[in-house]
């Protein structure tokens, strides 16, 4: 299918979810930690549902804070801007992901987000804070399948589970895959360029203009999946990446443990 054909598919959907306002805001807050934090706090406080969810999570045993946090500003002071931003993004994306993508997509998104951020930190990247969002959103293109044709969506999943390559299975059933449609959706939602590129190229990071970023998501995506079905790195891609992870098994366990705690909190909302 051509890009125009895929756009026609998207336009034919009865209800394409809108990107929540708070997500757009959280993704665009400027890097200045002070004005960024104040700016984000103001936006969030206008959204009472998200504020309530955030406060419930920051006051949960997961963070083990001794005092009761009552405002968004306090949460940012105690946990840091980035941690709060990640919780906000997760809370705000959860309805769309669980409704259109289901439990599997939701859990995979959180697992990949935690893995990507951890890898970026390990690599000492100054932009490591951006990777939670990239991991969270990398597979968003998949939400279109369920909306477009539920029966076909199950068929693509069935093919994948029985061993077919996921992009091939989607292309066979729908004529396009989740990275192609993700790219169009990301642009339509006016997501940051880097996220859109990751949505398009996370299966083939060597083609991204943000090659190392897409590479981090590629590795994060693989690491959190079944190690037997998804060998971590295909040799020809490994050569093209600029980094390596030692003790992959230990790393996988560490990431999945952290993600499980976060999911427990998010799912209890």
- Of 84-92, 132-140, 156-164, 248-256, the segment contacting Fe ion by CB under 5 A is 132-140
170 binds Fe ion, rule: CB under 5 A: no
Q: Which of 132, 109, 139 is nearest to 216 (CA)?
A: 132
Considering only 129, 139, 170, 177, the residue that binds Fe ion (CB under 5 A) is: 139
Nearer to Fe ion, 180 or 221 (CB): 221
Nearest distance in Å: CB 191, Fe ion: 16
Q: Report the interhelical angle of 248-267 vs 211-223 (nearest 10°).
A: 80
Binding mask 182-221 for Fe ion (x = CB under 5 A): ---------------------------------------x
Nearest distance in Å: CB 202, Fe ion: 5
Name the one residue in this structure whose structure tokens are 């909302």. Answer: 269
Nearer to Fe ion, 78 or 172 (CB): 172
Nearer to Fe ion, 29 or 101 (CB): 101
180 binds Fe ion, rule: CB under 5 A: no
Round to whole Å and give the CA distance between 89 and 24. Answer: 9
From its phi and psi, is residue 124 left (phi > 0), alpha (psi between -120 and 50) or beta? Answer: left
Helix then strand then coil, in percent of the chain rounded to 5, is 70, 0, 30
Nearest distance in Å: CB 139, Fe ion: 4
Nearer to Fe ion, 25 or 142 (CB): 142
- DSSP structural state of residue 202: T
Q: With CB under 5 A, what is the number of residues at the site for Fe ion? A: 2
Round to whole Å and give the CA distance between 237 and 175. Answer: 25
177 binds Fe ion, rule: CB under 5 A: no
Round to whole Å and give the CA distance between 207 and 148. Answer: 28
Residue 229: CB partners within 8 Å, gap ≥ 6?
163
Nearer to Fe ion, 53 or 139 (CB): 139
Neighbours of 232 (CB within 10 A): 15
Nearer to Fe ion, 25 or 222 (CB): 222
Within 68-127, the residues that bind Fe ion by CB under 5 A are none
Nearest distance in Å: CB 178, Fe ion: 6
Nearest distance in Å: CB 226, Fe ion: 12
Neighbours of 165 (CB within 10 A): 13
Round to whole Å and give the CA distance between 29 and 51. Answer: 17
Nearer to Fe ion, 129 or 221 (CB): 221
For Fe ion, the binding residues (CB under 5 A) are: 139, 221
């Amino acid at each position: 299918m051509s890009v125009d054909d895929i756009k026609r598919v998207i336009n034919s959907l009865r209800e394409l979810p809108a990107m929540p306002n708070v997500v757009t805001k959280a993704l665009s807050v400027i890097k200045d930690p002070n004005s960024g934090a104040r700016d984000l706090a103001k936006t969030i406080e206008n959204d009472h549902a998200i504020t309530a969810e955030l406060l419930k999570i920051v006051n949960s045993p997961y963070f083990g804070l001794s005092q009761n946090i009552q405002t968004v500003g306090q949460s940012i002071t105690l946990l840091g801007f980035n941690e709060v931003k990640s919780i906000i993004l997760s809370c705000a994306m959860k309805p769309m992901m669980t409704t259109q993508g289901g439990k599997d997509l939701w859990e995979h998104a959180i697992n990949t987000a935690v893995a990507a951020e951890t890898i970026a930190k390990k690599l000492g990247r100054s932009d490591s804070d951006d990777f939670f969002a990239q991991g969270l959103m990398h597979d968003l293109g998949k939400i279109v399948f369920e909306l477009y044709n539920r029966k076909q969506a199950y068929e693509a999943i069935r093919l994948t589970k029985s061993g077919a390559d996921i992009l091939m299975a989607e292309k066979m059933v729908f004529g396009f895959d989740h990275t192609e449609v993700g790219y169009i959706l990301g642009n339509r939602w006016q997501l940051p360029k880097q996220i859109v590129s990751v949505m398009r190229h996370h299966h083939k990071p060597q083609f991204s203009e943000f090659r190392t970023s897409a590479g981090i998501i590629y590795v994060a995506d693989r690491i959190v999946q079944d190690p037997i079905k998804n060998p971590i790195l295909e040799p020809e891609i490994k050569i093209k990446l600029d980094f390596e992870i030692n003790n992959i098994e230990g790393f996988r366990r560490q990431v999945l443990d952290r993600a499980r705690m976060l999911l427990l909190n998010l799912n209890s909302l």
